[in-house]
Amino acid sequence: METINKNEEYVKEEITRSMQHLSDKRVQHAIKVQSYIRSYVTDFLREAGYIEIAPIIISPLTDPLNHPVYDPKIHAYGGDMWITQSMIFHKQIAVQELKKIFIMSPNVRLETEEKSKSGRHLYEFTQIDVEALEKSREEMMSLAEDMIIYTISRLKKEHKEELEYFHRTLPDYAKPFPVITFEEAEKKYGKGFETPLSKESSTPVWVVDIPLKEREFYDREYPEKPGILRDMDLIWPEGFEEASSGGEREYELSQILDRIQKKGQTEEQFKWFIELAKQGIKYTAGFGIGIERFTRFVCGVEKIEDVTTFPKVPGRISL
Ligand code: AMP
Ligand code: MG
């Protein structure tokens, strides 16, 4: 009985909080900006020949992630399935035939409670998830730069009043964005370099060549530089930190098995992907950009929940 009463109170508080949030003018403006960003990035990608595919919500195969989250496992039909943490493998599979794809992909990542204070983490968010067949990391970096420049320039042209609402004057970023290797960044700023790098930058900046232990098994290792990956992160300027992660992908069976083993993971966990690799896949590359983080940066707001209609803050059950 006590639990039920407590729950009722909790629900009441949460509903009140949700309604206050939705009636906040700042939130309403940010949601509008997010809506324009969704429209412009999808316009851009379609124009660039990318096909939008529908998101996957549940599957026996999802991104294992390289950081601790609570397990979003569901048992059904006599087997285990997971709520999508990212569509990395589905992207790699779909693009074998469709060649250039993107997904406005909702991801559930049950992040641990301490992430609630970061301003950047939700346990449900959406990625603009992009993948292309037989493209290099550099080609995908160039596409991401064009996409960001196009989106920001249209926002400035077509929705100046929204940026003014947030007192935001965004520059015209020039392509290519600066690039720094993980090793150089660590040497210059130390561990946790993302924060100072972002604070010092006045333009989005790439971090490339990330060490193997920092990432999952699927990002491709340099054949000539073992232990270093053909991948990249994009960092927003002005302290807004990570915008995107991406890279070229492992596609050769022997290399996939070796990488799974190096990460201390089991082949059983990835049997669906391994089976696919056995049948043969071609190499692909891509990236994912969090739409809420994109909006947060454009609006220049501190908290990611303030750009989200129904924010899921780690540790709190919300509508
Ligand atoms: P990842 O490949 O794990 O780096 O995820 C791709 C992108 O999704 C990141 O660069 C962020 O923009 C976004 N993202 C990842 N995790 C979260 C989260 N918990 N909340 C909001 N956005 C996220
Ligand atoms: Mg990342």
User: pLDDT digit string (tens) for 245-257?
Assistant: 999 999 999 999 9
pLDDT in the model for residue 3: 59
Residues 6+ apart with CB under 8 A from 89: 61, 62, 63, 218, 272, 273
Distance (Å) from CA 115 to ligand 1 centroid: 12
pLDDT in the model for residue 5: 62
How far is CA 119 from its chain centroid? Answer: 15
100: part of which helix (H) or strand (E)?
strand 100-108
Q: Which residue in 177, 227, 184, 226 sits closest to 205, CA to CA?
A: 177
Which two structure tokens, joined as six digits, stand for 57?
A: 């919500």
Distance (Å) from CA 3 to ligand 1 centroid: 34
For the chain, what are the domain ranges? 23-305
Q: Whose CA is nearest to atom 8 of ligand 1?
A: 290
Residue 82 half-sphere exposure toward CB, CA atoms < 13 A: 21
Which two structure tokens, joined as six digits, stand for 41?
A: 């990035």
pLDDT in tens, 10-61: 999 999 999 999 999 999 999 999 999 999 999 999 999 999 999 999 999 9
pLDDT in tens, 186-214: 999 999 999 999 999 999 999 999 999 99
CB 274 within 8 A of CB 267: yes
Question: What's the topology of domain 23-305?
Answer: BirA Bifunctional Protein; domain 2 (3.30.930)
Sort 71 into a burial class: Cβ within 10 Å, 0-12 / 13-18 / 19+: exposed
Q: How far apart are CA 277 and CA 92, in angstroms?
A: 11
| Direct distance between the N- and C-terminal alpha carbons of the chain, in angstroms, rounded to an integer | 23
Distance (Å) from CA 290 to ligand 1 centroid: 5
Distance (Å) from CA 92 to ligand 2 centroid: 17
Give strand pairing partners of 242: 235
Under DSSP, the state recorded for 177 is: P
Residues with CB under 6 A from ligand 1: 86, 109, 111, 121-122, 125, 127, 242-245, 288-290, 292-293
Q: State phi, psi for 140 to the nearest 5 degrees.
A: -75, -35
**Own/partner pairs, 190-198, CB within 8 angstroms, 24+ separation:** 194/233, 194/235, 194/241, 194/242, 195/239, 195/241, 197/235, 198/235, 198/236, 198/237, 198/238, 198/239, 198/240, 198/241
Give the mean pLDDT of 108-126: 97
- Please check the confidence at residue 6 and state whether its pLDDT lies above 80: no
- Please check the confidence at residue 1 and state whether its pLDDT lies above 90: no
- Please check the confidence at residue 239 and state whether its pLDDT lies above 50: yes
- Among 85, 113, 233, 293, residue to substitute to test ligand 1 (most atoms within 8 Å of Cβ): 293
Q: Has this prediction a pTM greater than 0.75?
A: yes
